[in-house]
Amino acid sequence: AILRATGKAVTAETPKSICASMAERLKMNNVLLSHKEISLDTKTVPYSLEQLSADDPEIIFVVTMGKAEEINKKMRDNPAWANIQAVRNNRVYFLPSDLFLMNPGVNTPKAMNQLLDLAYRQ
C-alpha cells in the first residue's frame, strides 16, 4: 500500500502520484488497484485505516506532508492499525517527501533504489 499522510487525513496514492507510479514501474502490487470501484483520476483517493486493515498489505509506504513522528503516532493510535500484516512485521516505511512527494527529477534513480531496498533487499 502507498499512503499519503498529513496531520489531518490519510489517503491512498494512485498511479498518478510520484511514489505509486514508481512502485508500479518496479512491478509492486498496490492494494488500492484491487478496488475496481475506486476512480484513479486523481493522485490520491480517500482510504480508511479500516479498509487498509481489510486489504492487509505486506508492506506500507507512507509519504508524509508534515511531521512524520506525529503522523506515525496518530496512525498507531487507531486500533485497526495493529491488525495489519505490514505493521506486525515492521514493514511500514515513512518516505522522505523530497524524493516521493514532488517529482525528484535527477534523483529519481535514488528514489526508486530506496523503494527496491525497502521492499526486496532487507
Q: Given this model, what pLDDT does residue 84 score?
A: 93
Percentage of residues of the chain with pLDDT beyond 70 = 99
pLDDT at 32: 93
CB distance 46 to 11 below 8 Å:
yes
Which residue did the predictor score with more confidence, 50 or 67? 50
Among 37, 34, 35, 3, CA closest to 20: 3
pTM as predicted: 0.90
